Amino acid sequence: MGGIGSVGSVESVSSEDAPAVPRGAGRESAAEVHTAVDGGRLRLVPGSGPAVVFLHGAGSGVDTPLFGALAAELTAGGVRVGRLEMPYRVAGRRAPDRAARLDAVALAALAIVSSGRDVAGPATGDRPDPGAGDLAEGGAGGGTGRPFALAGVSMGSRVAVRVGRQAGARGVLALGFPLRPPGRTATGTQKPSRQGELDDAGLPVLVVQGDRDPFGLPDPDPSRARLRYLVAGGDHSMRTRIRDGRPPGDAIAEAARVGAAYLLDRLGLPRPEQPSVLAGTSVPAGTGGTPGRESSVAGSG
């Protein structure tokens, strides 16, 4: 089986061997193919259909309840789900890699997804290593390979908007975009904003944000194809308080439903009818085109 140290080594792993996710969080029934990418690990359900790749937050992994709920919605819609674990997580370190390293690993992994070199399948065993030279070829930047989109949480949403256009993604779902770290610097000034990363994305983005996120609320911008959806009572991780009057996990489920509907649309796939959640969002159903006006509707719960 392929190890994690070299670029492009592959192993086929059944879903029973994959890391556990909370019960009911939507782990795929299909096997995943694990591919080592520059110290990171791409876990992708093989096949020929469109895919969505998850990019995790700085302190979380790719098997969170939010990603699990999103995976269940996407899988039901006919989308293959991929999960990219960054090198520091694979190595067991807590501190994230530098932004340039995160972006480079993401681009290499997305080149694999776009080109279809992930397809090995549990029945066929390991496929030959693609090699570093192959990773540098088509996929990233061309936009002509297999269709895919990105879903990132916090730090992962920053990586997604930085690399999405170059990688050829159809769109980005930014879950809890960390606009500005809370608190002040040692000199009493505000900490730097990441607004420029959103503005420079260059592709359609839906920001799904808890309406009490301490990192702030990014503004929608129709001129940049950027929508915003506010989840009532949600914090940075879409958790709610008792006083918010929402059942446990309800905000996470709402974020997953809204996010999945947007991603299905970006991939040109039919999305389920969810008028109680999506009413007023103006994400055009089934068009695959550029989103319309901003979506700034707090969920009803």
Sheet containing strand 172-175, strands side by side: 10-13, 32-37, 40-44, 80-85, 51-55, 148-153, 172-175, 205-210, 226-231
Number of other residues whose CB lies within 10 A of the CB of residue 214: 12
C-alpha span between 257 and 275 (Å, rounded): 11
**Strand intervals (E) in 130-285:** 148-153, 172-175, 205-210, 226-231
pLDDT of residue 122: 39
| Cβ–Cβ under 8 Å, residues 193 and 205 | no
- Phi and psi for 207 in degrees, rounded to 5? -95, 120
> What pLDDT is recorded for position 271?
74
Q: Is the dihedral of CA 202, 200, 151, 282 positive or negative?
A: negative
Nearest to 32 by CA among 132, 150, 119: 119
Measured torsion, CA atoms of residues 237, 247, 251, 212, in degrees rounded to the nearest 10: -60
**Residue ranges of domains in the chain, CATH in brackets:** 10-18+27-182+190-278 (3.40.50.1820)
Alpha-carbon span 121 to 266, nearest angstrom:
26
CA separation, residue 25 to residues 28, 60, 76, 253, 256 (Å): 10, 15, 13, 10, 11
Q: Which two tokens stand for residue 103?
A: 């972006």
Read off the tokens for 29. 């029934």
pLDDT for the residue 273: 64
In angstroms, rounded to a whole number, what is the distance separating the alpha carbons of residues 109 and 43?
10
Instruction: Give, for all 301 residues of the chain, the pLDDT tens digit.
Output: 333 333 454 444 433 333 333 333 334 445 899 999 999 999 999 988 999 999 999 999 999 999 999 999 999 999 999 999 999 999 999 999 999 999 999 999 999 999 987 554 433 333 334 443 343 333 444 446 899 999 999 999 999 999 999 999 999 999 999 999 988 888 889 889 999 999 999 999 999 999 999 999 999 999 999 999 999 999 999 999 999 999 999 999 999 999 999 999 999 998 766 534 444 444 433 333 333 334 443 333 3
Instruction: Please answer whether residues 140 and 168 qualify as being in contact, where contact means their C-beta atoms are separated by less than 8 angstroms.
Output: yes
Whole-angstrom distance, CA of residue 167 vs CA of residue 145:
10
